[in-house]
Structure 1
Amino acid sequence: MVKRTSLAHCECPIARSLDAIGDWWSLLVIRDALLGRRRFGEFQKSLGLAKNILSVRLRTLVDRGILQMQPASDGSAYHEYVPTEKGRGIFAILVALRQWSEEFDEHPEEIATILVDRDKGRPVRPLELHASDGRLLAFGDTTLKPRPTPSLRVNGSRQGRAR
């Protein structure tokens, strides 16, 4: 078995995110949890995943604070996996992946569902990236720059951090 290299300490936030949720099984478990699946058996039935692999993914998602375990809502001896705020924050990522597939998949007609607004029943508009002033941004409209160095207070005055 090949050991996966951790990206948790990379400077790139995309690499760090992939370290937490970057394998497809984890994303599909999170998708199912956001759709309301809660129990081990529900995830296994939905995904057709081997018990040992599912166990590892669930444990990792709990350890990373994406899912939490809680007693079963029906009072049985089982427990349920529930998305945390951090887990619910992945919703926009899943929507972006879904919309990308709907636009670029070679056979979009094979996609069985559409994402709709629960109240209005209408399809959700494509995600958009906007500047702080509201302008719509495209790929070429953004760049990366170094994060500002935090200032430290010394004797009541602000000073830049020494390197």
Structure 2
Amino acid sequence: MTQTTARPAALDWSIDTCTIERAMEILGEKSTIVVLREVFNGVRRFADMREHSGVPRQVLANRLALLVECGVLRREPYQEPGARVRHEYRLTEKGLDLYPVLVAVKAWGDRYLAEPEGPPLTMVHRECGTEVRAELRCVDGHAVDAYREIAPRPGPGARRR
């Protein structure tokens, strides 16, 4: 017996304006997420990032340049006594808006990839000290507990193929 499946409705829509694809053009390299991890954790200087992350020098320079060019990070000058001016990297508002992405990636890693003793990092709310986690809610405020409850639909920028 052969089973036929309905043609997915997504095939009727163009992906030319896909914002997921556009975001991944910026964030899609492993080293980019690692660089963001460093900056979110307060490691802002090139040499410190290089030492702590293990990202090769040229790759790190390229990722930082891309993140600055895209407005995710900004460069701020600093100078140690007797040394030349250098730059450290700070998150912009656009960069800070990636925090839920990193929290969600960390949660997935904690669930499936952590060592038996647990994850190496916890993220807590500064004010109360309890753990922070990413959560999905619809615009009306309902928590989405089962991801299969989510249905993709064409948005206002969708274009038919």
Give the TM bin, normalised by the shorter chain.
Answer: 0.7 to 0.9
Aligned with 1:66 (options 45, 66, 72): 72
In the alignment, which residue of structure 2 is the partner of 1:82? 90
Amino acid at match of 1:133: D
**Structure 1 residues 46 and 13: CA distance shift in structure 2, 3 A:** same
1:41-73 C-alpha deviation (Å, 9 max, x unpaired) = 011011112211111111111111111112117
TM-score (normalised: structure 2): 0.77
In the alignment, which residue of structure 2 is the partner of 1:109? 117
Pairing of 1:85-96 with structure 2 (within 5 A):
85-96=93-104
| Higher relative strand content | 1
1:94-132 C-alpha deviation (Å, 9 max, x unpaired) = 0000111112226352522222222222222x3221122
* Per-residue deviation, 1:21: 0.8
User: What secondary structure, in the 3-state scheme, does the structure 1 residue paired with 2:74 have?
Assistant: strand
| Structure 1 CA distance for aligned equivalents of residues 30 and 70 of structure 2 | 16
Identity between Structure 1 and Structure 2 (%): 31
Amino acid at match of 2:150: T
User: What secondary structure, in the 3-state scheme, does the structure 1 residue paired with 2:85 have?
Assistant: coil
| Structure 1 CA distance for aligned equivalents of residues 97 and 89 of structure 2 | 16
In the alignment, which residue of structure 2 is the partner of 1:131? 138
In the alignment, which residue of structure 2 is the partner of 1:39? 45
Over aligned residue pairs, what C-alpha RMSD do you find? 2.3
In the alignment, which residue of structure 2 is the partner of 1:55? 61
The number of equivalent residue pairs is 141
Structure 1 residue ranges, 4+ long, deviating more than 6 angstroms after superposition: none
- The answer to whether the 8 Å contact 1:102/1:108 transfers is no
- Ranked by relative contact order (alpha carbons within 8 Å, sequence separation 6 or more), the top structure is 2
Aligned with 1:98 (options 97, 106, 112): 106
* Per-residue deviation, 1:10: 3.8
Amino acid at match of 1:100: W
- The answer to whether the 8 Å contact 1:68/1:84 transfers is yes
| Structure 2 CA distance for aligned equivalents of residues 12 and 94 of structure 1 | 21
